[in-house]
């Protein structure tokens, strides 16, 4: 057999290795309703047709606040968790390259030389001699010709794992941006609460000082009024360090997410000064969530499970491997390339499975894995639908809550003003003023919390719809 024959056999191996025993993949039916939930808790999606959907809105356009945009950009560039996810993507890509390389033969050039002293007893001539051998070969060692697609199925599985990892990186990016925005908004709410507490402390201290003077000179204030006023001063004094702590911790979390210290001029001062995110529509059909990176990643893993079944099925069929080499050999180093020194080897091998219980068990495992991953895929879709439905329920009701709370704060403020006036005129006791002030303080904090919920809910809806990845 000459070099040309060897090349022909190698070519035949390439062309024959293309069959696949993997089952045909079809996308499963999504186990969710075709439309988003309807009812009094939800906005009319038909009326939101003019509002842009997530695919139409880049994250730079959605997050309209300029300071928040800069911090998100810092996080995308410096966050260590996101960097680890990106490195895992590179690792998965390299593993896919390794598995794909199994389809191709490994060609090695091997040079060897040996010199051996043969004694009289073992020499064919009866005299001791020195034997030399030198050779140079170019060949393929144990290359499996993939007749039944075992290696190709494993390659396809590795590809789907890589694609799933890439989608996981996109999910991590969405989660990071949403978390940065949430922490940013929470920090703004904490700073607004800190302003409220300090303002309340100043007001209560003024009231306490006034009551103390009235008590000292005997102008109608009792010792009970004095102690009641002191309770509100002490409560405000207690809340100042509490919200100071929350603000400091919020800054620490924001620095961690950004991967670097966030400049003070980028930090929010209160919720009112923040430019709210853009309004978005979920679209008319729930199929929009099928493009979410975590759902796409789950589908890639399902495709990989189908490919692994093909590899398990191929294990029942013969494996054909080829070892071949061409080269030159000589008893003298100078004669390696002389006429008549050419050598070749052609050694095909076929292994036919007869009985191996592990093969049947491996096939059952691969089929069970497919059902497990299919169930996980369906669960991811159902969870995504619930997350979007919950976010829509918040968006459909939060504005009414904020409006009602604003009215409640106004009414409570008027109650406090009138109660304070009646106490000053000597009509009511200080207990009415104390109750009105306590109620006003609580309702102001509730209003801040609801405004935070409204802004955070917009971010949440954008994230659960898969926004933030280009």
pLDDT digits (tens, 9 = 90+) for 330-365: 666 666 677 767 777 777 778 888 787 888 898 899
pLDDT the model gives residue 181: 95
Q: Is the pLDDT score of 123 beyond 80? A: no
Output the six-digit token pair for 258: 């950004």
pLDDT the model gives residue 270: 92
Distance CA 383, CA 386 (A): 5
Residue for token digits 């300029």? 66
- Closest by CA to 296, choosing from 142, 188, 163, 187, is 163
Strands 319-330 and 107-118: unpaired
Fold of 24-103+146-183+246-316+361-464: Outer membrane efflux proteins (OEP) (1.20.1600)
The dihedral through the CA atoms of 75, 81, 84, 89 has a sign that is negative
* Higher pLDDT among residues 47 and 192, named by residue: 192
Distance CA 443, CA 228 (A): 20
* Three-class DSSP category at 185: helix
pLDDT the model gives residue 16: 46
pLDDT the model gives residue 432: 81
pLDDT the model gives residue 31: 92
The torsion defined by the Cα of 25, 26, 32 and 35, in degrees rounded to 10, comes to 140
* Higher pLDDT among residues 66 and 212, named by residue: 66
Q: Is the pLDDT score of 15 beyond 60? A: no
Distance CA 215, CA 224 (A): 10
- For residue 69, how many other CB atoms are within 10 A of its CB? 17
Q: Is the pLDDT score of 5 beyond 80? A: no
Least confident window among 95-104, 355-364, 448-457: 95-104
Distance CA 178, CA 412 (A): 35
Distance CA 201, CA 195 (A): 10
- E strand or H helix at 125, and its extent? none
* Higher pLDDT among residues 314 and 65, named by residue: 65
Least confident window among 270-279, 285-294, 297-306, 348-357: 348-357
Give residue limits of the domains in the chain. 24-103+146-183+246-316+361-464
Least confident window among 71-75, 91-95, 250-254, 373-377: 91-95
Q: Is the pLDDT score of 13 beyond 60? A: no
Q: What is the mean pLDDT of the chain?
A: 85
In the predicted model, what is the mean pLDDT of residues 258-279?
Answer: 93
In the predicted model, what is the mean pLDDT of residues 308-331?
Answer: 82
pLDDT the model gives residue 228: 81
Report whether 208 contacts 230 (CB < 8 A): yes
Question: How far is C-alpha 39 from the geometric centre of its chain's CA atoms?
Answer: 32
pLDDT the model gives residue 47: 63
Q: Is the pLDDT score of 1 beyond 50? A: no
pLDDT in tens, 390-449: 999 999 999 999 999 999 999 999 998 998 888 777 787 777 888 888 899 999 999 999
* Three-class DSSP category at 170: helix
DSSP structure string for 276-291? PPPP-B--SSGGGGGG
* Three-class DSSP category at 338: coil
Output the six-digit token pair for 406: 């604003």
pLDDT in tens, 373-382: 999 999 999 9
DSSP structure string for 372-424? HHHHHHHHHHHHHHHHHHHHHHHHHHHHHHHHHHHHHHHHHHHHHHHHHHHHH
* Higher pLDDT among residues 456 and 3, named by residue: 456
Report whether 136 contacts 59 (CB < 8 A): no
Q: Is the pLDDT score of 6 beyond 80? A: no
Output the six-digit token pair for 321: 């491997």
In the predicted model, what is the mean pLDDT of residues 224-247?
Answer: 88
pLDDT the model gives residue 334: 66
pLDDT the model gives residue 311: 87
Distance CA 291, CA 286 (A): 10
DSSP structure string for 230-267? HHHHHHHHHHHHHHHHHHHHHHHHHHHHHTSPPPGGGS
Q: Is the pLDDT score of 193 beyond 60? A: yes
Report whether 20 contacts 309 (CB < 8 A): no
112 falls in which pLDDT band (50, 70, 90)? confident
The dihedral through the CA atoms of 449, 455, 460, 465 has a sign that is positive
Output the six-digit token pair for 24: 């045909």
Longest dimension (CA), the chain: 138
């Amino acid at each position: 057999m000459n070099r040309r024959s060897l090349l022909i056999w190698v070519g035949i191996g390439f062309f024959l290795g293309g069959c696949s025993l993997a089952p045909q993949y079809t996308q499963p039916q999504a186990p969710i309703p075709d439309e988003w939930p309807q009812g009094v808790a939800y906005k009319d999606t038909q009326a939101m047709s003019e509002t842009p959907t997530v695919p139409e809105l880049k994250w730079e356009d959605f997050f309209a606040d300029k300071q928040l945009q800069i911090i998100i950009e810092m996080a995308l560039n410096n966050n260590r968790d996101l960097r680890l996810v990106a490195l895992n993507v590179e690792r998965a890509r390299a593993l896919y390259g390794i598995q794909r390389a199994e389809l191709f033969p490994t060609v090695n050039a091997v040079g060897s030389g040996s010199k051996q002293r043969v004694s009289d007893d073992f020499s064919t001539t009866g005299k001791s001699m020195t034997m030399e051998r030198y050779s140079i070969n170019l060949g393929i060692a144990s290359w499996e010709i993939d007749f039944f697609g075992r290696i190709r199925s494993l390659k396809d599985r590795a590809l789907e794992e890589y694609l799933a990892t890439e989608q996981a990186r996109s999910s991590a990016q969405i989660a990071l941006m949403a978390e940065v925005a949430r922490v940013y908004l929470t920090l703004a709410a904490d700073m607004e609460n800190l302003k409220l507490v300090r303002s309340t402390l100043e007001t209560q201290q003024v009231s306490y000082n006034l009551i103390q003077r009235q008590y000292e000179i005997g102008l109608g204030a009792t010792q009970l009024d004095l102690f009641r006023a002191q309770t509100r001063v002490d409560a405000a004094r207690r809340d100042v360090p509490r919200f100071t702590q929350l603000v400091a911790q919020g800054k620490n979390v924001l620095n961690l997410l950004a991967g670097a210290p966030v400049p003070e001029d980028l930090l929010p001062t209160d919720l009112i000064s923040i430019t709210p995110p853009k309004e978005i529509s979920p679209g008319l059909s729930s199929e929009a969530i099928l493009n979410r990176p975590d759902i796409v990643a789950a589908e890639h893993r399902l495709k990989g499970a189908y490919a692994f079944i093909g590899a398990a099925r191929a294990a029942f069929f013969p494996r054909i491997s080829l070892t071949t080499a061409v080269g030159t050999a000589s008893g003298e180093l100078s004669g390696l390339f002389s006429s008549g020194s050419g050598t070749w080897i052609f050694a095909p091998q076929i292994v036919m499975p007869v009985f191996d219980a592990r093969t049947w068990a491996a096939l059952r495992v691969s089929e069970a894995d497919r059902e497990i991953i299919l169930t996980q895929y369906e669960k991811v879709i159902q969870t995504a639908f619930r997350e979007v439905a919950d976010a829509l329920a918040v968006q459909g009701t939060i504005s009414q809550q904020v409006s009602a709370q604003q009215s409640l704060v106004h009414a409570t403020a008027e109650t406090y003003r009138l109660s304070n006036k009646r106490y000053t005129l000597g009509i009511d006791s200080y207990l009415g003023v104390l109750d009105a002030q306590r109620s006003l303080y609580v309702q102001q904090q509730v209003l801040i919390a609801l405004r935070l919920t409204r802004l955070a809910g917009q971010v949440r809806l954008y994230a659960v719809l898969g926004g933030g990845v280009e």
